[in-house]
Amino acid sequence: YSQAYKNFVLINGLLHRRTLSKQGMRLRLCVPQGERLEILDAYHCDRWAAHLGVKRTLGRIEERYYWPRLRQQVLNYVRECPQCQERKTPPVEPQRHMEIICVERPFEKVEMDILGSFPVSTGGKRNIIVAVNYLTKWAETRAVPTATARDAAEFFIEEIVLRHGAPEGVVTDCGKCFVA
C-alpha cells in the first residue's frame, strides 16, 4: 500500500493522482463516486461531446480525472447510451460469394416461391405458386386463393413430381408455407 500512496497528493483540499503520460507527469483529480455520472454525461452526452465512442470518451476523461475502474465504467456507459444505440448501425456481415449450382438434367433441382398477395381475381385467386427448373428455366405456375403449406404441397406433387418426376433438390426462401 505504501507504493500506492506515493501516487496521491492533496492540493487545496482535493485529492489528485500522479500519473505518467506521454506528456510527462500529470495530476488527475480523484472523483468521488457521487460525481462520476455527471462527468460521464459531460464528456459523452453533452452537446459538445458529440457522443464519442469508448476510446475517445475515455481519453478525454483520463486527461483530467481518475477513479478506480474508470475504463470499465466508461465502456459500460457508452455501450448503454440510448442515443448511441439508436444511431449505431449494426455490423455489416461480409457478403458471401454466390454459389454456382450445377445440374445435369431437367428437373434435377427446382426453385419454388409464392408470389402475392395480388388483387383477387374473378376466380377468387390472389397468390401464384411458381416452380422454376434450374437447368432449362422452365416455369410451372398455379394461381391459388391462399398461400398455405397445403397449397404448396399439392402444387409440388401435381405439377412437378407427377409431371416431371421427383427432383433431387428444392430451393425455397423458407417462407412460412415451405417450413410448416
One pLDDT digit (tens) per residue for the chain, 180 residues:
567 788 899 999 999 999 887 778 899 999 999 999 999 999 998 877 788 889 999 999 999 999 999 999 999 999 999 888 887 777 777 778 878 888 999 999 999 999 988 999 999 999 999 999 999 999 999 999 998 999 999 999 999 999 999 999 999 988 888 876
Q: Return all residues near 62 (Cβ < 8 A) that are at least 6 apart.
A: 28, 70
Parallel/antiparallel/unpaired status of strands 109-116 and 127-133: antiparallel
CATH number for the domain whose boundaries are 2-87: 1.10.340.70
Q: What angle do CA 33, 34, 36 make, to 5 degrees?
A: 65
Domain 2-87 shares a fold with domain 109-179 = no
Would you kindly state where each structural domain of the chain is located, as residue ranges? 2-87, 109-179
CATH number for the domain whose boundaries are 109-179: 3.30.420.10
Q: What angle do CA 94, 98, 102 make, to 5 degrees?
A: 155
> Under a CB-based contact definition with an 8 Å cutoff, are residues 37 and 70 in contact?
no
